[in-house]
């Protein structure tokens, strides 16, 4: 049985603290915004592949907060060096969750190169993440989330999943000045 992304994200929601930063990209972002709208959602990653690099910048500049990255597998393939950079940066507050659906979902659902064999968790492990895990079953993923988020980062979790409910793709919002301003205001509120 394969996880659906919205079910996996719903399992994550109860464990996200109010002061956590969540960096999400593409369909994971659209799903997350629908399921858990909050001011500390960071949605303006700009260029494909860059979500985890934004997450690293936020983790370095905000060491008292957890930074949760909801990455895509096609996105990660565009920026594989980020795994090494993050592992080498000394951040302990970064939690990298990968939606591994093996397709470029928002670009027509074409398959990733190596879609049937790429092992993202192995890549993160080889790069030097503190711990990596790979889940194909929702119940096992749900049970593991509290332990992942209470462990010292950087942590990497590959969620082997398929698309769930079709949440709207609001590109205008994620690229909007309003989204960036809301995040900035929330980040600097305290």
Whole-number minimum distance, CB 70 to other proteins, in Å?
Answer: 15
Degrees to nearest 5, angle at CA 160 with 159 and 162: 110
Strands (E), the chain: 3-4, 21-24, 41-42, 67-72, 94-100, 103-104, 110-111, 131-135, 155-162
Whole-number minimum distance, CB 124 to other proteins, in Å?
Answer: 14
Whole-number minimum distance, CB 182 to other proteins, in Å?
Answer: 11
Task: Examine residue 154 and say whether the peptide bond preceding it is cis (omega within 30 degrees of 0).
Answer: yes
Nearer to other proteins among residue 21 and residue 138 (C-beta): 21
Nearer to other proteins among residue 125 and residue 183 (C-beta): 183
Nearer to other proteins among residue 87 and residue 103 (C-beta): 87
Whole-number minimum distance, CB 47 to other proteins, in Å?
Answer: 5
Nearer to other proteins among residue 66 and residue 102 (C-beta): 66
- Backbone φ and ψ for 133, nearest 5 degrees, come out as -145, 160
- The number of beta carbons lying within 10 Å of the beta carbon of residue 162 is 14
CB 82, CB 125: distance < 8 Å = no
Residues that bind other proteins (CB under 8 A): 42, 44-47, 49-50, 53-58, 60-62, 79, 81-82, 84-85, 88-89, 175, 177, 180, 183-184, 187-188
């Amino acid at each position: 049985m394969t996880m659906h992304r919205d079910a996996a994200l719903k399992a994550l929601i109860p464990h996200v603290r109010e002061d956590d930063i969540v960096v999400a990209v593409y369909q994971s972002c659209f799903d997350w915004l629908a399921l858990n709208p909050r001011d500390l959602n960071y949605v303006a990653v700009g260029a494909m592949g860059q979500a985890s690099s934004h997450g690293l910048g936020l983790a370095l500049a905000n060491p008292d907060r957890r930074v949760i990255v909801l990455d895509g597998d096609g996105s990660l393939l565009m920026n594989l060096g980020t795994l090494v950079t993050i592992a080498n940066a000394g951040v302990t507050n970064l939690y990298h969750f990968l939606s591994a659906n093996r397709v470029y979902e928002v670009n027509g659902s074409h398959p990733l190169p190596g879609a049937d064999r790429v092992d993202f968790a192995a890549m993160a492990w080889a790069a030097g993440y503190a711990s990596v895990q790979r889940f194909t079953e929702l119940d096992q993923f749900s049970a593991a989330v509290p332990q992942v988020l209470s462990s010292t980062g950087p942590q990497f979790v590959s969620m082997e999943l398929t698309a769930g409910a079709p949440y709207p793709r609001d590109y205008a919002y994620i690229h909007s000045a309003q989204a960036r301003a809301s995040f900035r205001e929330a980040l600097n509120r305290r």
